[in-house]
Structure formats: structure tokens, C-alpha cells
Chain A
Amino acid sequence: MSASDNPLVKLLQLGHTRFGTAHLERLREGIADDVVWYTPGDHPLSGKIVGIDGVLEWLRQSAEVTNGTFRADIHRILAEDTWAAVISTYRGERKGIVLEMPGVQTFRTDPVTNKVVEARIWVYDDVFVNKFWSA
């Protein structure tokens, strides 16, 4: 199966586009109600979130505090049937600090519903990321 035919790859591309265009409510179509979402580090947006409402609020806040500049530019998506890794560059600007850093998002999906049930953010330099989101 080529990457472009993988439904999970399509779902993740669509999801990142919806975040980028602020169509957050439509992310409910691809994320389970009881999703578990992990963000590393020690800053106001780090930690474990359980539930889609909390995740959408987290996404809203990440856009709001960066004036809509925060995004993950996708380089490639490597996927199996029920999990995938999105290899990205995180970009954003906040209070004069410019974020541009390699990042990875890993996702696990439910094999029946095909919705995301677990997501984890991976950052290259947590010291800088803590500074960026805490500023």
C-alpha cells in the first residue's frame, strides 16, 4: 500500500489542515471522545489531556497565544494500520520568540472506528519549548 492510499495518512493530513485553517470542531470527526493526548515539558500547555473537549481547547490556546502562527509543517507521515508518526517542523512566534524546531507527532487509532485514541507530541529541545510556551 502506498502512503497516499493509507486512510490513516489521509486522516492525519486532513487533521493538520483543519488545525491550520482553524476548523477545529471538524477534528471531532477523526478524534475519539476519550482520546488521551500527551504533551511533554513543563509549561502551561504541557501534560496529559483526556477527552476531545480538552484537546480542542488545547489546540485553540496554542493558536491563540501565538496569534495563529503556531503550526506543524509536515515533511512525511510513516504509518502502519493503526499507528502513525508525523515528522514535522514546528513553527510559531510568540512575544518576540521564534519557534522553528524538528518535531514528531505519534498517533494511535482504534481499529474499528479509525479515530485517534492516543496522541503524543515529541519535541527536539524541551528547554527552548518550555521558554516559548511560558513566555
Chain B
Amino acid sequence: MNQLNLNAARIAIELFHSGRVELMRQMLAEDVVWKVPHRNPLATDIIGVDNVLEFFRRVQRETNGTFRGEVLQIAANDEAVFCLMRVHGERAGKTLDQKVVNVWRLRPGDNKVIERELFMEDQPASDEFWAY
């Protein structure tokens, strides 16, 4: 992925994290596996592009539209994208604000995302934020 594509990706990533979820559709493979780790009500492996988009809509609903992601570092090759982000959201009087690493694995040929893994700076804080 060249520098121009990375800049476009950075903008798209920030937009879909802030609620413009339809932007993701063209970036994801139909059968994408979107892994949401940890011990909270949202944690599961999400399979399929429609379910991933619905997940991001739910994130916005749960946070009353406050969830945001800022891209801090991004790098890519033909196989994967690494993206260090700061995510922020507010929910039920609680605040989420921490760095996360996204790794998106790409399908050879069309570079669509086939798998996502997430790594958090502070998982207990995230679990507490999403807990009911």
C-alpha cells in the first residue's frame, strides 16, 4: 500500500470509528472475521461484513454517539495493516480513553480486510467501560 493509500485509509478509519460505518463496507471482505477480545458484553468473533457494520453502530448507540478513534501511527504492506490509535468514548458516566493497536490482515489480490485483531493498552479499563 503506498503513502497516498495510507493517507486515505487513515481518514476512512477515523470516519468509520466516529460513526460513518458504511465507509467500511468497501474495505472489508464479505466473510471478514472481526475479533473483539476480552471479557465484556461486546467481546466475540464477528463474522461477515454486515455484522461488523452493525457492531460499529452498536458501539455508537452504547456511547450515545461519543465514540471516536484517532490514528496515531499507521503502516502497511500487501498482507497487513498496523494501526496505533487512541480511542475515546463516554458511556453511563464512564470514560474510555486509551491507545489500541489494530492489525488488519489483507486478502492477496484486492487487499480487502479478512481478519482483524485488537490489542489494548488497558484491557481491564475497557472491560469496565463496556460492562453492564
Contact = CB atoms under 8 A, between A and B. Distances in A.
Interface of B is mostly: strand
Contact of A127 (B39, B75, B117, B122): B39
A80 B75 contact: yes
B119 A103 contact: yes
Contacts of B128: none
Interface stretch (A10-18, A51-59, A118-126): A118-126
A104 B73 CA distance: 14
B80 A126 contact: no
A104 B119 contact: yes
Interface in B96-130: 101, 103, 117-124
B75 A78 contact: yes
B48 interface: no
Interface residues of B, number: 22
B77 A3 contact: yes
29 contacts: A42-B124, A76-B77, A76-B79, A76-B80, A78-B75, A78-B76, A78-B81, A78-B82, A83-B73, A85-B73, A85-B75, A85-B84, A85-B101, A87-B80, A87-B82, A102-B119, A104-B101, A106-B84, A106-B101, A122-B119, A122-B120, A123-B119, A124-B117, A124-B118, A125-B37, A126-B120, A126-B123, A126-B124, A127-B123
Interface of A: 3, 40, 42, 76, 78-80, 83-85, 87, 102-104, 106, 122-127
